[in-house]
Structure 1
Amino acid sequence: MASDQGARVTAAVLIIGDEILSGRTQDTNLRDIARYLGVHGVDVAEVRIVPDVIDEIATALNHLRGRYDYVVTTGGIGPTHDDITADAVAFAFGVELYEHPDILKMMQAKYELTPARRRMARIPTGGGLVQNPVNGPPGFTIGNVFVLAGVPQIMRGMLEDVGHRLKGGAVTVSRTVRVLGSGEGVIAAPLEAVAKAHPGMSLGSYPFFSPESFGSNLVLRGRDPDEVEATVGELIAALQAAGIANVAEVEG
């Protein structure tokens, strides 16, 4: 597990559910996970969406957990027949599921323990709990994998029990330079020149259009705050030297 504060620490997000793939439900969890992990010095490097099929979930999970420092999954830990994430994670790790006594005790205090509800008490052997401060049973963790709910409000609550377990790297610093009234064709050359001079940083152009104006937000991201600061100045100077006058750093 990576823990060097100067190194890049990475994560993958595995979004599970037929409803996401069909378009019936719009995923918002990725945004919240990426922002949360970024604050802890962990970069989301890959995202996959898989259907409610055990083999496909397990295959994707085994690939991702071997490639990245962490994997966060969302979805498929409810009480219905298609909530098979726990089964798939256990299959991926080659272990059995068992009913966690703490989950059973918590649910007994609130509900009648129907067979459907007991499904939510199952976690893989060797796993631990991810607390749920919002509603319902907890998620779980095993190895470098965190298994969270798909409901956004519940997922965000579970994330709060993930951060303290992460061995993050240097936090990425992000700055934005906005160019008004010039298209990407004009911006491209000076942006590329500055990007090549700083290969350890990420420089991207994100155009915008409205009835009143157009332009691009140029986003600079890096782990060395001093280099990011200096590069903002270099980029503004390069753009101005190319004849682009309406350029300035903005918040966000």
Structure 2
Amino acid sequence: MTEAATGEAPATAAVLIIGDEILSGRTQDVNTRYIANYLAQIGVDLREARVVPDDEVEIVAALNALRARYSYVFTTGGIGPTHDDITADAVGKAFGVEVVEDPDAIALLSERFTEQELNPARRRMARVPKGAALVRNAASKAPGFWIDNVIVMAGVPVIMQSMMDTVGPLLRSGPPIQVETIEAGAIPEGTYALKLEAIALAHEGVSIGSYPRFSSAGIRNQIVLRSRDAASLDLATRAVRAMLVELAP
């Protein structure tokens, strides 16, 4: 694992969600949102999220593409005890290394399972690519692992969140991303779109987006501003608020 450090340029990240159950709609992905919020708070830019099936070729291709492009790749899913949990093998293939049973992982699992309970299926959760460091978690003894810039975590949200608590302090962090949310109410987006674009162009370093939401009162719009620079964010926020006052009926 890398040591925690503050870099000049913000670290970037991608999330790779692995699992047929996500693509089929049977299971809802809540992990991407959690990871995105976590990374924003420590100043890591989440730039991309992908979902792939439990298919080794698909996992390897996506992983190699993402790890070459971003500072970190976080994967979730596919590290359990069943036959379709193939993430460890796919990661090993992506890095060209053997996947082996890790004695430290076996020791962790032995804290939870008896010798009889630690059957071949459960021992699958101790298999990691050679050279990987274990990612422990307080919710479950079954570890994830970290190899180069790829961090492999469980798909079960409470376990994944515990793993994020383990790796978070070791990531290259930066200034947190600050957010301002402004209610635009019933003012149509088409009414303020050009003015909002001008504000965005005038405030470099501030990301500005408009997002409709639906309620019993009809469509209501929110304008969300994001920046690492508090002063720039404040100036842009003031400009947006002034624009909405000017356009209010």
Instruction: Give unpaired runs (5+ residues) of structure 2.
Output: none
Distance in 1, matches of 2:207 and 2:8, equals: 16
2:127 to 105, 122, 125: 122
Partner of 2:88: 86
Which residue number in structure 2 is paired with residue 106 of structure 1?
108
Matched, 1:140 2:145: yes
Contact 2:206 2:236 in 1 (8 A): no
User: 71, 76, 79: which is aligned to 2:73?
Assistant: 71
Distance 1:62 1:165 in 2: 22
Deviation at 1:79, TM superposition (A): 0.5
SS of 1:160's equivalent? helix
Q: CA deviation at 1:219?
A: 0.3
Deviations for 1:202-240, whole angstroms, at most 9, x for unmatched residues?
100011232335431100011111000111111112233
Pair 1:244-2:244 in alignment: no
Q: For 1:227, which of 223, 232, 248 is the aligned residue?
A: 232
Matched, 1:216 2:221: yes
Q: Find the residue that maps to 2:12 and give its secondary structure.
A: strand
- Once the two structures are TM-superposed, the CA of residue 4 in structure 1 deviates from its matched residue by 5.5
Match of 1:250 in 2: none
Q: Measure how far apart 1:188 and its partner are.
A: 1.0
**Take 2:121 and 2:54, find their aligned partners in 1: how far apart are those partners?**
17
What is the CA-CA distance between 1:156 and the residue it aligns to?
0.8
- Structure 1 portions without partners, runs of 5+: 246-252
Secondary structure, aligned partner of 1:123:
strand
- Provide Cα deviations, 1:120-179, integer angstroms capped at 9, x if missing partner: 111111110111210231110000111000011111111110111100222111101111
CA distance in 1, matches of 2:107, 2:83: 22
Q: Which of 31, 34, 52 is the matching residue for 1:32?
A: 34
Contact 1:7 1:170 in 2 (8 A): no
Identity of aligned residues (%): 52
2:25 and 2:148 map into 1 onto residues whose CA distance is: 31
Q: Does 1:179 align with 2:184?
A: yes
State the 4+ residue runs in structure 1 displaced beyond 3 angstroms. 1-6
RMSD: 1.7
Alpha carbons of 1:115 and 1:159: their partners in 2 closer, same or farther (altered >3 Å)? same
CA distance in 2, matches of 1:104, 1:33: 27
For the residue of structure 1 that corresponds to 2:184, the secondary structure is strand
Q: How many residues align?
A: 244
Structure 1 residue 106: deviation in Å? 2.4
Q: What secondary structure, in the 3-state scheme, does the structure 2 residue paired with 1:162 have?
A: helix
TM-score (norm 1): 0.91
Amino acid of the structure 1 residue aligned with 2:19: G
- The whole-number CA distance in structure 1 between the counterparts of 2:36 and 2:69 is 17
CA contact (8 A) 2:21 2:27 kept: yes
